[in-house]
Amino acid sequence: MSISVYLIAGGAAWLIAQSTKYILVTIKNKKLDNVNRLYLSGGMPSAHSATTTAMLTSIGILNGVDSAIFALAGLMTAIVIYDAIMVRRSSGEQGIAIAKLIEEQKSKVEIPFLALGHNWIEALVGSILGIAIGVVVAGF
C-alpha cells in the first residue's frame, strides 16, 4: 500500500509552512521556546494556503486542470484561503479587542485563546510555497 501523492504534497506543505513559522518567530524573538508555532494557526506563511494549493497543484499536474477533482479542489482551496483572510482574521482581531477589554477592566474573566487568521501576504506566500511543493512532489 502506498501513500497518496496528494496527501504527501499536502502534508509536506503543511509541515514546511509550520516549520517556517517556527524558524521565523525564533529568529525574530531570538529564543528557541516557540514550539507552539509548530501547530498554532496564523502567522507567516499560511499553512492552510500552502496545504490546499499543494494538493490543488498536484491534482492539476496528475489529473489535469479540466478534471472534476481539480475543479472541486480549486473551489475548496478558494474557500479555505477566503476563510483564512476574511473570517478567521476578523475573529482573531475581535479576540484581541476582547482580551484588551478584559485586561483594561481588570476582570477576573479568563482571557480566551486567540487564534489569528492571515493577512493576504501570509496567504499569498503560503500559496506560492504550496504551488512549489505541489510541483516538486507531483513532478517526481
pLDDT in tens, 63-113: 999 999 999 999 999 999 999 888 877 787 888 888 888 888 888 888 777
Looking at residue 38, what is its pLDDT?
Answer: 61
116 contacts 89 by C-beta, under 8 angstroms: yes
* CA 126 – CA 134 distance, rounded (Å): 12
What is the model's pTM? 0.82
Could you report the per-residue pLDDT of 15-72, keeping only the tens digit for each?
999 999 888 888 887 877 766 666 667 778 999 999 999 999 999 999 999 999 999 9
Could you report the per-residue pLDDT of 58-70, keeping only the tens digit for each?
999 999 999 999 9
Q: Is 64 left (phi over 0), alpha (psi -120 to 50) or beta?
A: left
Q: Cα angle vertex 136, ends 117, 80, to 5°?
A: 25
